[in-house]
Amino acid sequence: MLVLSLVLALALGLGGARVAGADGPGRTYVPLVHVQGDSGKVLAEAAQSPGPARSDAGEVPPRQASGKLYGVNLSGAEYTPSSLPGVLGRDYVYPYSGVRTSLYPGGYQGAAYFAAKGLRLLRVPVRWERLQPVAFGPLSAVDVAELRRVLDDAASRQQQVIVELHNFGAYYGRKLTVADGAQFADVWAKLAGALVGHPGLYGYELMNEPGDLPGGSATWKVLAQAGVEGVRRVDRQAWVLVPGYHWQKANTWREYNEELLVEDPVGKVLYAAHVYFDWDATGFHRYGYEAGGAYPEIGVERVRPFVEWLRAHGVLGIITEYGVVDRDERWLTVLDNFLRVVDSEERVVGAVAWAAGPLWGTPRELGLDPLNGRDQPQMQVIARYAGGTVQPGVRRSAISPREEPAAATAVGRAIAAACQAIGQPHEQCLVRRVLLTGWSWLSDRVKTFSSPSRADG
């Protein structure tokens, strides 16, 4: 393994930020902002565009919307998990219009921008420990007020909010067990009680990317049922979104969630999956398009197991995270093909892209806030499905697509050929998984010893 990893490392010549493992939690984010001193001021790190932007005049008129719900994640309230509960305005912020950060000193206006693009859903990640600092205790009045302010802001533009606990199946770092069902029901009963009936509320997503729980998927099913029951004690109107076990991955949904069916007395449950298109379906895009084995229909194949499960059980679902980088136009084709499935599949009510927000900023990988006042390339694709206007022509790099190193392309093609030779499709190919996972492991070990540590967002 080590020899293969070293060979691949030399061939690919790849670097990149520290990431979670192939089966680890979605994105363990390194924030674009950090905190210095005791002033509470959020300071920006270097956020320069890697290449000149190019803008073409004119707008593309909106297409006829399909009735699907499209949206965007507004990051901010889940930041700095190393500081819990943390200090509001220093470690984290809530993404309502006008909130000020070093990235947006004049006040963040992203929600209004996305409304103009036809995005009617805003998914707002929050930390359980901030809303409820003590297990079974009262909710933080300050944080609830801030969250309600986000809902007020959304309602003023006929948008609605999905509130989700961005905790990966843990509370203060300890993974939940079946015995924590009462605690999980408690927080959801109290949070639903604080938000019930708000016109800006769409629903509650019980947990972001649960994984590595003692007892596995069986434990998650018990906890999910407890969460639904907690919500329904006080709110029988809003949707409850039930995420899948094993990081919500759509491509492994049937492997880990075949029995994930909860009972809801009002029948307003949506099952929530995440779909990313890079080699390990995490959204980190550590490898380029060819080196990671991507192809135009990879998103269509990734979402298929989830869609088949929805059809088999006669239930509804939603995609609450997906996204691509903009450094290679081929990813935009992948994105377009994926959204075409979402737009046509009756069992999927919509899709919410990752990510934007007052601490996320642009330019940044998967970032969707406008750059220099113009639409990001990914947003140009999404807005056409959402029925919004599009401003074409923005590119971060003057060269599009950006060429991968010849060695990386050659290795990617060799891996694909090996997988084809042994008759294993992309998602299950042992050759690809061994080589790329081995390189990821080695790369992380090298950076651990060569780079200073830093807090994650």
**Residue 56: per-residue pLDDT:** 37
**Residue 407: per-residue pLDDT:** 55
List beta partners, residue 124: 163
Residue 249 corresponds to which tokens in the numbers above? 């991955």
Which residue do the tokens 């010549």 mark?
Answer: 13
**Residue 436: per-residue pLDDT:** 56
Distances (CA, A) of 330 to 251, 286, 386: 20, 16, 21
Phi, psi angles (nearest 5°) of residue 322: -165, 160
With CA atoms as reference, report the closest residue to 182 among 232, 132, 234, 226.
226
Please write down the long-range contacts of 450-456, taking CB distance under 8 Å and 24 or more positions apart.
454/30, 454/34, 455/31, 455/34, 455/80, 455/82, 455/83, 456/28, 456/29, 456/30, 456/31, 456/80, 456/81, 456/82
**Residue 441: per-residue pLDDT:** 53
With CA atoms as reference, report the closest residue to 137 among 207, 206, 173, 85.
85
The angle at the Cα of 205, spanning 202 to 206, to the nearest 5 degrees, equals 140
How high is the mean pLDDT in each 10-residue block of the chain (457 residues)?
Answer: 42 33 39 32 28 36 66 96 94 96 94 95 98 98 98 97 98 98 98 98 98 97 98 98 97 96 97 94 86 91 97 98 91 96 96 96 84 89 89 50 52 65 62 58 48 36
> What residue spans of 101-140 are helical by DSSP H?
110-116, 128-131
**pTM beyond cutoff 0.85:** no
Q: How many C-beta atoms surround the C-beta of residue 224 within 10 A?
A: 26
